[in-house]
Amino acid sequence: MSQPEYRSELQGITRRHFFGSTAAGIGGVALSSLMSESLTAAANSPQSLGIQMPPRAKRVIFLFQAGGPAQQDLFDYKPLLNQKNGEQLPEHIRGSQRLTGMSAQQASIPLAGSAFKFAQHGQSGAWLSEILPHHRQIADDLCFVKSIYTEAINHDPAITFFQTGAQIAGRPSMGAWLSYGLGSMNDDLPSFIVLVSANQADQPLYSRLWGSGFLDSKYQGVQLRPGKDPVLYLSNPDGICRSGRGAMLDKLKTLNRHQFEKELDPEIESRIAQYEMAFRMQASVPDVTDLSSEPESTFELYGTDSRSPGTFAANCLLARRLAERGVQFIQLYHQGWDHHGSLPNAIREQCRETDQASAALVLALKQRGMLDDTLVVWGGEFGRTSYSQGTLSVNNYGRDHHPRCFTMWLAGGGIKPGITYGRTDDYGYNVADADGNPISPTKHEFTPGTMHVHDLQATVLHLLGVDHTQLTFKYQGRRYRLTDVHGHVVNDLLA
């Protein structure tokens, strides 16, 4: 048949003729597609992954300090910086590390010693700044990691990397991964709850940081806000009673079931489950957020700010109450640590807002016998430079972003208490080996004494009984995980 005749015959096939003659084939393709989706869903089921090991922790409270706290002014005591204050950062210490656009063009990059005094505390001899007086009480309960390092040098990708394991937005958050892998310990509250300090003007935070990415939407975090309605649109509108709302949801569930039977879309079942959870939360959320039953001693422990909803102190108290009720992953965010200038005054205020409450949370969990199975993590997305950004004066300086080394602490949940893991060089600029020599660790190969962000994530999952290499989800033809293709459990931190 010639090309023109063939084209003419194709043009003569009507739409009705095409669908009539190929219906069986299209039906087969559709059935195959549905079966493939069903098999993929089964393969992605946490129950089929075989991920669980004996857990050391039942829950996580992550006190995320957004902005990047300056480790040299809080935990990483560097007397050499004070001795060489105002001198230029040596080239052999800086090496080839890139600087941000905010300080790369400075004619001078002078070393800046801390404005604060340091002293050792507890039997562990942990170095702490004078602006962290309440941390002294928990020094022997903490594990300080002074050699953590990351890849991102700007806030948004750095925070996204910590929360999701990728610098580019769209991946599931750590709490979502754990909800997917471990399920829930409470039928009346979400397994992943987020608390953001109110009225903290700094780098923005986005709901995608606690989102579920390509996982089912039921695994995303639920933010509790201060005020009358902690969860938006949870309360019944005027004129709607609880029994009426319940009856409406029953009818809606029936309609959604019919829709699911037609389309087999798992998101419809997730929507049903979320409606039912929201109905139960109408009773459970007011209960957990009502602090009227707390004794006076509780507010004395957490500080006067704990009486003000939305403060970091109030959120730490609320985190304890959520932990008591079986919430598995509790994520706090506190902004305000991005101190490019006027650091001495600004960081002092940040410590006033967070020091007492952070210590109180650890002490309260310990008093209740919960610290052993509750992992508390404190830290930000990166550290700060040992040199001053902008003009260095006797009483003032700033510090730029520094991903190469910084400090975080962990407590409880199977972590060794009263230890310091890793170190930095005498300038506080590089991760160092046991002899204090600067080294350049990489995520591709684990270096003892160091911790990459993926190593932290792998260790947190391990403490919860999850093998980070097995907690995966197949999406667009590839199996994804929180730690991507990297990450090592840091066994030196485990009790």
Helix axes 343-367, 312-324, angle to 10 degrees: 20
Please state, in angstroms and rounded to a whole number, the distance separating the CA atoms of residues 165 and 458. 10
pTM equals 0.88
Tell me the residue type at 98: R
Return the structure tokens found at 97. 């590390």
CB 29, CB 37: distance < 8 Å: no
Question: Given this model, what pLDDT does residue 285 score?
Answer: 87
Q: What is the mean pLDDT of the chain?
A: 89
Could you tell me where the DSSP H helices lie in 380-481? 453-463
Of the pLDDT bands very low, low, confident and very high (cuts 50, 70, 90), residue 116 is very high
Please state, in angstroms and rounded to a whole number, the distance separating the CA atoms of residues 158 and 36. 36
pLDDT single digits (tens) 335-378: 999 999 999 999 999 999 999 999 999 999 999 999 999 999 99
Minimum mean pLDDT range among 85-94, 272-281, 294-303, 327-336: 272-281
Please state, in angstroms and rounded to a whole number, the distance separating the CA atoms of residues 118 and 130. 6
CA distances from 189 to 221, 277, 346, 393 (A): 11, 7, 36, 51
